[in-house]
Amino acid sequence: MKTSASTFWDFGSIPMIEPEFLGNILATSSDIAVMIDLNGSIKSVLVNQSEQYYGDLSHWEGKNITKFLTRESIPKFERALDKLNSGKTILHSIELNHQDNAKWQFPVRYNAHLVGQNNNVLLLGRDLRTISETQQQLVKAQIAVEKSHEERKEYDAHYRSLFSTASEPIFVLDAKTGNIRQANPAACTLLSEDIDTLPGQSFSKFIANKDKKDLNDKMATAAMSRTTLSVTVTQKRQDVDAHLLPVMYRASGQQVLLVRMSLQIDKIPQNDTLSQNLVALYKNGTDGIVFTNQNGLITYVNESFLELINAVQGSEIVGRSLGDFLSKGQIDLAVMLENVQRSGPMRIYSTDLKNDFGLKTAVEVSMTKIPSDRTEQISFVIREISRAEQPEPIRQAISSSNNNPSVTELVGSASLKEIVAETTDVIETICIQTAIETTNNNKAAAAEMLGLSRQSLYVKLHKYGLVDGEDG
């Protein structure tokens, strides 16, 4: 269906436009207009007067347009020209990069039209420099955003590392409500709270009543004046005096308080010699000392224990299970916890202590349950022993067995195979007896320690005559 506009152009090659106006119209309707023949030779160049960047391009006329195209644009133009020579219409635009004596370049998007009786080609072009510049600006902005994002990730990693490994308790509070938003492991250990449950609780909940009044205002004042605030922290075990160093900043449109806490745990009365000696023993003793809760989660460690497991600082260890550092993992821990809960203090438990790199150290562990009205604690005293000494008890046990001859006595009177068969039962008996003694006659724990089922253990107990009256 033809409109009035379409019938208007049926009179011929724009017959109603005077020739003297046609050039101005073409130049104004595009940024650059180039008339070429089907060989690519330039017949005329018209430039929009508002585009001063191009300058005078009259020297293009009479020369092939490829002379003024960049190397990557020439094949693109030649393919389009071949298409026109074959009588096909180019429906899509062509993007070409122009150059002139290598002095400057500019990208142009052309629409090609066959015109006139001689099949000349009219190229109407739009300058792409503005679009190109915009794209370049977008790329630069994207690079800047990505760089800023990477820097923020780096800063965030630094912050999290410092926050989590700091030995002193640190709290991030909502300045308006005083509620805890974040707390580091040292703070959670101090308050005996889980790291997941502490956020959302009121900070004043853990401060003595005498210091609670207007606590938020006092911390805000201390932050602005860059001074410390003295308070008493109410722990589940005991109250501790502390200094608060608050710093106020704004995050996500909200005021936030970063509160560093300095504890005065060494503040022991001068006449309390016993307490002073115990603190000195904990800090300077050669044996590793570990305190855990009743589930085996570490609450305190001394420097000697850190040396045994090659750890840098206690904040890395606090909150983890003691089983993470035992050779048999949770099996060792379960045996020790069960026995100390059931039978009280356990004098010696032999095992291997391991670090995060898999290196093992032979140790003897003594443990004691510390009763408390608030939170029950279990203390572990861990002493390193020489590996070279470990096999000696076994050798002594084999040689001193009442029911079996020593290994040395068997040599020469029996073959190696017979000696091995003879001593296997002895070693097996010793291992079972040791497990039973270590676990205080807990058959289930002994079976788990030996890697046996409970039924298999009872079979062997009957085999070697180790069944007591309770077992029947």
**pLDDT tens per residue, range 405-442:** 555 555 555 566 666 666 777 778 878 887 777 777 77
What local confidence, expressed as pLDDT, does residue 390 receive? Answer: 47
pLDDT tens, residue by residue, 155-174: 777 777 777 777 788 899 98
Tell me the three state secondary structure of residue 297.
strand
Q: Between vectors from CA 332 to CA 329 and to CA 334, what angle results, nearest 5°?
A: 100
Can you state the angle between helices 416-438 and 443-450, rounded to 10 degrees? 140
- Is pLDDT of 20 > 70? no
Distance CA 17, CA 257 (A): 76
What local confidence, expressed as pLDDT, does residue 102 receive? Answer: 56
Share of the chain above pLDDT 70, in %: 79
Residues in Cβ contact with 140 at an 8 Å cutoff, skipping those fewer than 6 apart: none
- Is pLDDT of 182 > 60? yes
- Is pLDDT of 126 > 90? no
Long-range contacts of 312-317 (CB under 8 A, 24+ apart): 313/165, 313/167, 314/167, 315/164, 315/165, 315/166, 315/167, 315/184, 315/185, 315/186, 316/165
Distance CA 418, CA 397 (A): 19
Catalogue all structural domains in the chain, each as residue range(s) with its CATH number.
14-127 (3.30.450.20), 166-263 (3.30.450.20), 272-388 (3.30.450.20), 390-472 (1.10.10)
The β-bridge relationship of strands 346-354 and 239-251 is unpaired
What is the reported pTM?
Answer: 0.38
Question: In the predicted model, what is the mean pLDDT of the chain?
Answer: 78
Q: What are phi and psi of 7, to 5 degrees?
A: -70, -25
